[in-house]
Amino acid sequence: MVAVNRAYNKTHHIPRLVWGGKGRYASGLEVGDKVVMNGRVQSREYEKKLETGEVVIRTAYEVSVARIYKETE
């Protein structure tokens, strides 16, 4: 997950997909590290079963990462 800080002390957590060597690099990052990522936002639909038994279609958004590196301050 990538945390994106927003105004008024709000944060969005966005799932990200990182494969291969980039994935190994990302697995070494610590919580709170600032990173720069290039990639694309993609969406997919999935079915969610509610407590009532009703099935609804939802959309999930995630970032498919092409490049990632730790930001130097």
What residue type is 54 in one-letter code?
E
Residue extents of the structural domains in the chain: 2-70
Q: Which residues pair with 26 in a beta bridge?
A: none
pLDDT digits (tens, 9 = 90+) for 54-66: 999 999 999 999 9
Q: Report how far apart, in Å, the C-alpha atoms of 27 and of each of 8, 33, 50 are.
A: 30, 12, 34
Taking the CA atoms of residue 46, residue 47, residue 48 and residue 52 in that order, the dihedral angle to the nearest 10 degrees is: 160
Looking at the chain, the whole-number percentage of residues with pLDDT higher than 90 is 78
Tokens of 41: 């936002």
Angle formed at CA 64 by CA 35 and CA 12, multiple of 5 degrees: 60
pLDDT digits (tens, 9 = 90+) for 36-54: 999 999 999 999 999 999 9
